[in-house]
Structure 1
């Protein structure tokens, strides 16, 4: 059984606040709930903890907050990266369409880590969404040794993700299809790192970027494709266009001596002024066409792809 709830600030919907709508859904309810969110800025620190939801933005919908890691928490100590998230998704089988997830804490040089969206759930997909922040914009599951979590399968299609330092990071298996990956210009010699995967040792796939565009107005040769947050980080770029901001060596080892033997970083079909296959770090991989069969949607997520459609 499907039900639909409308959320708007005008008072003409079922709820004025998104969290109130989510909280109204029974814990053990069956069927899908469609949340139609009408245009507006929803300043709520959200916890989307119910499964089988479809969030549909109508017009420009912004889910925003402004916490950051160094901000004092309830006990006076810094709240930390995890607690800084504007929105948390922990319910399985959720789809978001045409929604902007944003953390407005400010520049990474001032606010440090400030997460726009944290996801720790399976079968979560985003279509035509934006994720806006600076450092640590999109957090996809904490490292396995830190906490009990699921860090499942996450899918992003035609999304826009903006940030500077480690702004796509975590332990999930995540597939990015035709997304715009935007590195902010900090005006530094090293402007940042796009990814910081924490792929568990028992996972075959971490982050896969397919036919994405890596964009920035930062200086040439100033942004790394990624660095390993944990020793078994796995990140692959397939048929992506890379702007000149991407560093020639591509990847950073985060000063980990094990990176050359445990990390899997690969590229295939890179194009644009930031594509320098001959100059990439020696411990990373230039994939062949035959290798790409291991990074299709089916290979990463399994045969049932209905949740990505």
Structure 2
């Protein structure tokens, strides 16, 4: 296993994460670990598809911060607006990516709202995130494509659609925090019609500084958006109706929204919209990470940390 050290003070192999990523072997079957010492790394980071089996390991979740400030309000030199796809602070296109003990952030909306501004965009298959924070405002975590992603013990915050996209992703023991704002949305799934699963949130916590009953669990960015909340604690910011149809009643016929075992002030099964589903215990028990993410290759995301030689 190759290990590369990054330290913005010059005590490592490189001062920037971008330089370290460039030094990673292309299409490697062996894992490369980039260890990043605490500090704020203000740089736009892109993990290209060729950088397979790469890990980013920070010194601490709060102290190692990868941040940039692009957003859709910025313009290119030719005057055209930046797209949401272009505006992510960190983009991961490679397969078998792993991240631990660091923060991905987008600072574009500090002090004012500048629209869509992802902190992290993940497109590669079999991506794992353990004890990371993903911080932004609108569209914080972008998951385009049909790859599989696993988030464990993570903190994710935002205002509108702050977890969005078409990937199949499993979130377990994560805190999803809605920042103060009226009419917020936790998810905006664009799951494909042929995908069995979209987002599954298991044993998570929905917290907020937003007013009571102002945030929806999700709205379908595309007609077949799929989101399940399993054994999740919800604070009072969650709207009693739970879900939103994105001003399109036709999506009520196709969106796949469900809950099981919700608790806390925001859990209100009797007032949820009639087109969302309440799972029974047997259905909920089947929604394990291995089943949701296993795929044809039998991927077991919960074992990746040990297989990659990552230790505390």
Q: State the TM-score, normalized to the length of structure 2.
A: 0.92
Q: How do residues 227-246 of structure 1 correspond to structure 2 at under 5 angstroms?
A: 227-246=219-238
Does residue 284 of structure 2 align to residue 292 of structure 1?
Answer: yes
For residue 215 of structure 2, what is the aligned residue in structure 1?
223
- Distance in 2 of aligned mates of 1:185 and 1:288: 33
- Distance in 2 of aligned mates of 1:67 and 1:55: 22
Q: Which runs of 5+ in 1 are unaligned?
A: 142-149
- Distance in 1 of aligned mates of 2:15 and 2:137: 29
Tell which deviates more after alignment, 43-52 or 296-305: 296-305
Matched residue count: 297
For residue 145 of structure 1, what is the aligned residue in structure 2?
none
Post-superposition Cα deviations, 1:189-209, rounded to whole Å, max 9, x if no partner, equal: x2x000000001111000000
Post-superposition Cα deviations, 1:85-142, rounded to whole Å, max 9, x if no partner, equal: 000000100110001000000159620111100000111011110000000000011x
Instruction: Verify the 8 A CA contact 1:193 1:225 in the aligned structure 2.
Output: yes
- Distance in 1 of aligned mates of 2:299 and 2:75: 44
- Distance in 2 of aligned mates of 1:240 and 1:170: 21
Counterpart selection for 1:121 from 120, 124, 140: 124
Q: How do residues 80-95 of structure 1 correspond to structure 2 at under 5 angstroms?
A: 80-95=83-98
- Distance in 1 of aligned mates of 2:13 and 2:156: 31
- Distance in 2 of aligned mates of 1:180 and 1:244: 15
- Distance in 2 of aligned mates of 1:209 and 1:196: 13
Runs (4 or more) in structure 1 with deviation over 6 Å come to none
For residue 16 of structure 1, what is the aligned residue in structure 2?
15
Distance 1:182 1:58, change over 3 A: same
SS at match of 1:4: strand
For residue 137 of structure 1, what is the aligned residue in structure 2?
140
Instruction: Verify the 8 A CA contact 2:134 2:141 in the aligned structure 1.
Output: yes
Tell which deviates more after alignment, 252-261 or 234-243: 252-261
- How far apart are residue 12 of structure 1 and its match? 1.9
C-alpha RMSD of the superposition: 1.4
- How far apart are residue 28 of structure 1 and its match? 3.4
For residue 2 of structure 2, what is the aligned residue in structure 1?
3
Instruction: Verify the 8 A CA contact 1:93 1:307 in the aligned structure 2.
Output: no
SS at match of 1:20: helix
Post-superposition Cα deviations, 1:117-175, rounded to whole Å, max 9, x if no partner, equal: 0000111011110000000000011xxxxxxxx43111111100000000000000001
